Structure 1
Amino acid sequence: MEFPFAIGNYLYKGTKEKGCFGAVAKCVCRRTRQAVAVKVLLNNNISIEKELDILATLNRLPPEKYNIVKFIEYFTSQQARCMVFEILDQSLRQVLKLRTSLPLIELRPITQQLLVSLYGLRTAGVIHADLRPANIMKVHDCRPCYVVKLGDFGHAGYAGRMGCDDVIQPLKYRAPEVSLGYKVTHAADMWSLGCTLTECFTGSDLFCDDSIYNNLRSIIKLLGLPSRKVLKYGALCEELFVPADHYSQWRLKSPEELCRTVGHTPETSESPLENCSTLESIFQDSSLQMASPERRDRMVFADLIKRLLDTNPRTRLTPTEALYHPFVTMVHLANDNSRYSDWARDLMAGSLEGHTTASDLCPPPRSAADQ
Structure 2
Amino acid sequence: MTEHFYFRNHLCIAMELLSINLYELIKANGFVGFTTALIRRFTSQMLMSLSLMRHHRIVHCDLKPENVLLRHPAKSGIKVIDFGSSCFETEKIYTYIQSRFYRSPEVILGMNYHMAIDMWSLGCILAELYTGFPIFPGENEQEQLSCIMEVLGVPDKDFINKSSRKKLFFDPGGAPRLVVNSKGRRRRPGSKTLAQVLRCSDDDFVDFISKCLVWDPERRIKPASALRHPFVTGGRRPKVLTSTSKSTLSTPSLSGRRKDTTETPKKSLISAPTPLTARSSRTVGSNVAPPTPSSSSHASTLGTSRSYRASQPQSLSSYHSSRTLNGYATATAK
TM range (shorter): 0.5 to 0.7
CA contact (8 A) 1:164 1:179 kept: no
Per-residue CA shift, 1:124-167, capped at 9, x if unaligned? 11100100110001111642xx2111111111111022255241
Map of 1:134 onto structure 2: 66
> Which of 1 and 2 has higher RCO (CA within 8 Å, sep 6+)?
2
Could you tell me whether the CA contact under 8 Å between 2:51 and 2:223 is conserved in 1?
A: yes
Unmatched segments (≥5 aa) in structure 1? 1-70, 245-249, 256-264, 286-294, 333-337, 345-350, 352-371
CA distance in 2, matches of 1:134, 1:81: 26
Within-5 A mapping of 1:1-371: 71-72=1-2, 77=7, 82-99=12-29, 100=31, 101-140=33-72, 142-143=74-75, 146-162=76-92, 165-167=95-97, 169-226=98-155, 228-244=157-173, 250-255=174-179, 267=182, 277-284=192-199, 295=201, 298-331=202-235, 340-341=260-261
Greater strand fraction, Structure 1 or Structure 2? 1
Percent identity over the alignment is: 28
CA distances 1:88-127 after superposition (whole Å, capped 9, x unpaired): 1111111111112211111101000000100000111110
> 2: distance between equivalents of 1:86 and 1:94?
19
Q: Report which of the two structures shows the higher radius of gyration computed on alpha carbons.
A: 1
Shift of 1:215: 0.4
CA contact (8 A) 2:128 2:134 kept: yes
CA distance in 2, matches of 1:189, 1:211: 20
Paired residue type of 2:235: V
Secondary structure at 1:281 match in 2: helix
Indicate the residue corresponding to 2:327 in structure 1: none
Q: Deviations over 1:13-38 (max 9, x none)?
A: xxxxxxxxxxxxxxxxxxxxxxxxxx
SS in 1 for 2:19: coil
Assess if the C-alpha contact under 8 Å between 1:206 and 1:271 holds in 2: no
* 1:149 counterpart SS class: strand
TM-score (norm 2): 0.64
Q: Which residue identity is paired with 1:107?
A: I
Shift of 1:281: 1.5
TM superposition shift of 1:214: 0.3
Number of residue pairs aligned between Structure 1 and Structure 2: 241
How far apart, in 2, do the equivalents of 1:109 and 1:154 lie? Answer: 26
3-state SS of the aligned residue for 1:121? helix
Q: Cα gap change, 1:276/1:239 in structure 2, threshold over 3 Å: closer, same or farther?
A: closer
| Aligned-CA RMSD value | 3.1
Match of 1:366 in 2: none
- Amino acid of the residue matched to residue 196 of structure 2? S
After superposition, the Cα gap between the structure-2 partners of 1:238 and 1:84, relative to the gap in structure 1 and judged at 3 Å, is same
Gaps spanning 5+ residues in structure 2: where? Answer: 237-257, 265-274, 276-334
Structure 1 length as normaliser, TM-score?
A: 0.58
SS of 2:120's partner is helix
